């Protein structure tokens, strides 16, 4: 939800940018807390990059549900997959897997294929979440980091000791790896070593 709010507010900023000389604005949440500082010129550049990438994605043939399902491994970090879900009801294929280890150790993996018209539209809406921002409160933080040759969103929630990493991989997939009682380094290892080759 916050990514969508940032997207809408950033778009609004572009519409009024000509009214003042400042290049940055502060985006706040509903409680008045600073969520991000947005550069108007950077916003325009990122929107152009997003549009170009979306056009490339539209030209790609979306994967079948079986192809996306094949990207979800049977085991991660030595933990077996305990549940699985896949669908293409929104016009793009999504596959999810849950893995459980000893005690409360748990890992969730989600892969979204952004190819084709609907996948490219989803990419365009979500791309802005990979900008430079940082937010922190009593229950954790989220921030943009450099990861695996691109950008990713790193998030930590203290209340359940849960890390989450969201990235764009292999020029077509949004990948979310989330773990409870799993270290950040283990999350990053999973994200870096997924086999996302398309046959």
Task: Quick: pLDDT tens for 128-174.
Answer: 656 667 889 999 999 989 999 888 999 999 999 999 999 999 889 99
**37 in Cβ contact with 25 (< 8 Å):** yes
With 0-12 / 13-18 / 19 or more C-beta atoms within 10 angstroms meaning exposed / middle / buried, residue 97 is buried
Q: Residue 50: is its pLDDT beyond 90?
A: no
Task: Quick: pLDDT tens for 120-129.
Answer: 888 787 766 5
**Hey, which of 37-46, 57-66, 172-181 has the most confident mean pLDDT?**
172-181
Residue 67: which of 175, 173, 198, 177 has the closest Cα? 198
To the nearest 5 percent, what fractions of the chain are helix, strand and coil? 35, 35, 30
Query: What is the set of domains in the chain, with CATH numbers?
Result: 52-193 (3.40.1000)
**84 in Cβ contact with 72 (< 8 Å):** yes
pLDDT value of position 28: 65
d(CA 29, CA 90): 28
pLDDT value of position 4: 39
């Amino acid at each position: 939800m916050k990514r969508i709010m940032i997207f809408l507010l950033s778009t609004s900023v572009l519409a009024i940018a000509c009214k003042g000389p400042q290049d940055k604005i502060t985006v706040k949440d509903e409680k008045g807390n600073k969520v991000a500082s947005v550069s108007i010129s950077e916003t325009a550049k990122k929107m152009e990059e997003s549009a170009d990438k979306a056009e490339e994605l539209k030209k790609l043939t979306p994967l079948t549900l079986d192809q996306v399902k094949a990207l979800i491994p049977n085991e991660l970090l030595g933990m077996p997959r305990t549940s699985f879900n896949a669908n293409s009801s929104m016009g793009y294929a999504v596959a999810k897997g849950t893995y459980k280890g000893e005690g409360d150790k748990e890992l969730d993996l989600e892969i979204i294929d952004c190819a084709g018209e609907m996948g490219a539209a989803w990419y365009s809406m979500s791309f802005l979440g990979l900008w430079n921002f940082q937010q922190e409160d009593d229950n954790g933080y989220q921030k943009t980091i450099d990861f695996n040759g691109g950008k990713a969103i790193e998030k930590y929630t203290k209340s359940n000791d849960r890390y989450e990493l969201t990235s764009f991989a292999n020029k077509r997939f949004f990948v979310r790896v989330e773990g409870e009682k799993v270290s950040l380094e283990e999350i990053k290892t999973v994200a870096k070593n997924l086999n996302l080759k398309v046959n």
